[in-house]
């Protein structure tokens, strides 16, 4: 039976809309969506498949997205990290955590490892950012910073991951027009102290069409889900 529980989290004068896909056991994944038009509901395909394998997840719509609403100018990449921490506190998620971040959410996931114990880190089509952009409110100034040629190359993500000791899985879309393969490769290469690290490239996939593409080939979809579950559960599926 599928159980999805909605809940609200007060944050900085607004209310974050969130939900919990209840799993059969263990600590649920903290699930962080990306930028643009991304929302927690847009990740139902993956979250539902994980739930069917007993892996629950807690997700929320960041300020400026989905049911939470508001304007992006009220937020920043740093604020999204703090929003995630507010959701963690509201649900009393125990550490060590399992964190899955997609696109911009991948950078928030990496940042969380600085302040929290994280056993498993799953980064999908991962975006990373220069520290200069971290606290800048979303809008023209933020866009100007990140649109500089290879602005991501001086990201602190590499250094942060060099201290990560848990399990790392990076999932890259072969035809991603947003995230260069170099970013995914460097993230894996940086995690020299990780318990395990793996780069999985989904052939034929695009930045916003990865799981829906895999779904067209059930065997490949199931294999990818099994890969994620294995990382979450420390090798146990």
pLDDT tens per residue, the chain (237 residues)? 679 999 999 999 999 999 999 998 778 999 999 999 999 999 999 999 999 999 999 999 999 999 999 999 999 999 999 999 999 999 999 999 999 999 999 999 999 999 999 999 999 999 999 999 999 999 999 999 999 999 999 999 999 999 999 999 999 999 999 999 999 999 999 999 999 999 999 999 999 999 999 999 999 999 999 999 999 998 655
Residue 75 lies in a domain: yes
Report the DSSP beta bridge partners of residue 98: 120
Number of domain units in the chain: 1
CATH number (domain holding residue 22): 3.40.50.1820
Q: What is the pLDDT of residue 25?
A: 76
Cα-flanking dihedrals φ and ψ of residue 113, to 5°?
-70, -15
Residue 237 lies in a domain: no
Q: Is the pTM of this model over 0.85?
A: yes
Segments forming the whole domain that contains residue 189: 4-232
Q: How far apart are CA 31 and CA 97, in angstroms?
A: 11
Residue 81 lies in a domain: yes
Question: Which residues make Cβ contacts (< 8 Å) with residue 236, sequence separation at least 6?
Answer: 230
Report the DSSP beta bridge partners of residue 5: 20
Q: What is the pLDDT of residue 27?
A: 83
To 10 degrees, what angle do helices 104-112 and 77-91 make? Answer: 60
């Amino acid at each position: 039976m599928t159980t999805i529980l909605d809940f609200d989290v007060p944050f900085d004068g607004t209310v974050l809309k969130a939900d919990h896909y209840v799993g059969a056991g263990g600590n649920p994944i903290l699930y962080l969506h990306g930028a643009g038009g991304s929302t927690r509901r847009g990740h139902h395909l993956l979250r539902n498949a994980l739930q069917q394998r007993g892996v629950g997840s807690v997700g929320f719509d960041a300020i400026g997205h989905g049911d939470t609403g508001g304007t992006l100018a009220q937020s920043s990449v740093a604020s999204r990290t703090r929003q995630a921490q507010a959701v963690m506190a509201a649900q009393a998620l125990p550490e060590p955590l399992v964190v899955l971040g997609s696109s911009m959410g991948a950078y928030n996931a990496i940042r969380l490892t600085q302040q929290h114990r994280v056993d498993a880190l799953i980064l999908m089509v991962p975006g990373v950012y220069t520290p200069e952009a971290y606290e800048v409110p979303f809008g023209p100034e933020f866009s100007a910073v990140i649109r500089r040629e290879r602005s991501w190359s001086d990201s602190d993500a590499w250094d942060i991951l060099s201290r990560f000791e848990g399990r790392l899985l990076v999932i890259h879309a072969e035809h991603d027009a947003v995230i260069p393969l170099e970013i995914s490769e460097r993230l894996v290469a940086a995690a020299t102290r990780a318990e395990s690290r793996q780069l999985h490239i989904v052939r034929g996939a695009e930045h916003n069409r990865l799981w829906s593409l895999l779904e067209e080939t059930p065997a490949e979809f199931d294999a990818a889900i099994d890969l994620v579950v294995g990382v979450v559960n420390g090798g146990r599926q």
